[in-house]
Amino acid sequence: MIHELVAKTQAGFSDLFGYEATGVWSAPGRVNLIGEHTDYNEGYVFPFAINRRTFAALALREDSTVRVASSFSDDIHQVDIANISSDAKNEWAAYPFGVAWAIQQLAEVSPSGFDCFIESDVPVGAGLSSSAAIECAVALGLNELWGAGLDRRKLARAGQLGENEIVGAPTGIMDQSASLLGEIDHGVFLDCRSLEATPIELGFSSADLELLIIDTKVAHRLVDGGYAARRAACETGATEMGVTSLRDLSIEDLEKAKEILDEVTFRRVRHVVTENQRVLDTIRTLREAGPTAIGQLMHASHESMRDDFEISVDELDTAVETAIRHGAIGARMTGGGFGGAAIALTPIGKISEVTLSILAEFEALGYAKPDIFAVSAAPGAIREV
Ligand code: GLA
């Protein structure tokens, strides 16, 4: 079945550029079930691709001009394929420009210019990786049109490289990996050191569970200082502990870390080390006991982000605690932090109670009205037509 947005994306392209696109590629947003701020520490993550997607209609041009446009902005951003740089004027177009640049770094291609039109139903700014969805849809399309021959892991790296160098956000590889490697009803268990990805069945629907997203509407931006500061603290911690990355530390090493590191760096390190263990425990628990047994691990992850890594905000804490009080099995903030969304694994019979309680609690506290909706695990990036 072709997604209704495919036709809209094709029409958007031909209305604007005056000819038909060669194809439409799509890629999903992602939600992270557990494993936060572990990816750039070469640790473990367990996200899944969600049933919200971004669509990119593309066609190569005879010349070296790149034009990108979208249904969510009136601007057409234009650049020469040889001159892509990290220019603030790029705005959101830095994502497609970034992957176009990064593919050239990772593959032998003689790239021509292209036209690109983007449609999306991935909520922006909610911590659901709307940016990775753009990167991966465009990356898959350009890879094919340019004959770059990169596999999905390399395309994930292209997305990350573009985001690091052209967008200017020092993010890890989780979001793009989930968007490219996702499978229906499965999470992507990713070892961010070896980049080995294992699909793990989630089993939510057979356990009568839904994963609710609570988008707090508190804007989070990965180019702001908080994310980079956490990453820097992890690097300091690893250097002072004499390891290449925090992945090399285990729970037993924390005693020594406490002696060596200053108090704040120690807590940053403790989050990453315990979070890696929680990802492994979640995978084992899911396999042995099913999804109803992972709630404690989700909550422990949230407490660690709130107290040790200090990336939560009041709205996220309220969403998490209210969800649990009203029947969610587990809940935690998800994504980079400092705003964005929380997730709540909720029995179907409790969805309306959890939803209404969060809405009421937010209103009572004078917070902006959150958006609450369920997501399911969907396939990764594909060519649609
Ligand atoms: C953002 C980044 C990811 C990852 C998460 C935190 O989503 O893009 O690479 O670091 O934050 O887990």
**What pLDDT score does 225 carry?**
87
Long-range contacts from 148-155, C-beta under 8 angstroms, 24+ separation: 148/103, 148/106, 148/107, 148/109, 149/107, 150/103, 150/106, 150/107, 152/180, 152/181, 152/380, 152/381, 153/177, 153/180, 153/181, 153/195, 153/197, 154/106, 154/107, 155/103, 155/180
CA of 173 to the centre of ligand 1 (A): 8
**What pLDDT score does 314 carry?**
97
- CB of 118 within 8 A of CB of 97? no
Pick the residue whose CA is nearest to atom 1 on ligand 1. 336
82 with 210, same domain: the answer is no
134 with 224, same domain: the answer is no
Cα–Cα distance measured from residue 197 to residue 273, given in angstroms and rounded to the nearest whole number: 20
> Percent of the chain at pLDDT above 90?
95
CA of 39 to the centre of ligand 1 (A): 7
DSSP character at residue 367: P
CATH of the domain at 186: 3.30.230.10
pLDDT (mean) for 229-252: 98
Q: Where are the alpha helices (DSSP H) in the chain?
A: 4-17, 94-106, 130-145, 152-162, 174-181, 225-240, 254-260, 263-289, 295-303, 314-325, 351-364
167 with 224, same domain: the answer is no
Cα–Cα distance measured from residue 176 to residue 129, given in angstroms and rounded to the nearest whole number: 8
Q: Which domain holds residue 345?
A: 205-375
CATH of the domain at 247: 3.30.70.890
169 with 303, same domain: the answer is no
pLDDT in tens, 165-177: 999 999 999 999 9
- The structure tokens listed for 245 are 């990355």
**What pLDDT score does 249 carry?**
98
Q: Which of the following is catalytic: 80, 115, 151, 175?
A: 175
Total domain count, the chain: 2
67 with 55, same domain: the answer is yes
55 with 188, same domain: the answer is yes
- CB of 329 within 8 A of CB of 248? no
CA of 91 to the centre of ligand 1 (A): 20
pTM summary value: 0.96
Atom of ligand 1 nearest to the CA of 169: 8
DSSP character at residue 124: T
251 with 370, same domain: the answer is yes
96 with 235, same domain: the answer is no
Query: DSSP string covering 223-270, please?
Result: TSHHHHHHHHHHHHHHHHTT-SSGGG--GGGHHHHHHHS-HHHHHHHH
Atom of ligand 1 nearest to the CA of 32: 12
**What pLDDT score does 257 carry?**
98
pLDDT in tens, 315-371: 999 999 999 999 999 999 999 999 999 999 999 999 999 999 999 999 999 999 999
pLDDT (mean) for 159-169: 96
- Ligand 1 interacting residues, C-beta cut-off 6 A: 32, 36-37, 39-40, 171-172, 174-175, 222, 335-336
pLDDT in tens, 258-271: 999 999 999 999 99
pLDDT (mean) for 153-163: 98
CA of 258 to the centre of ligand 1 (A): 26
Active site residue 175: yes
pLDDT (mean) for 48-63: 98
209 with 342, same domain: the answer is yes
Residue type, 135: E
147 with 119, same domain: the answer is yes
pLDDT in tens, 284-310: 999 999 999 999 999 999 999 999 999
195 with 210, same domain: the answer is no
3-state secondary structure of 319: helix
164 with 241, same domain: the answer is no
DSSP character at residue 183: B
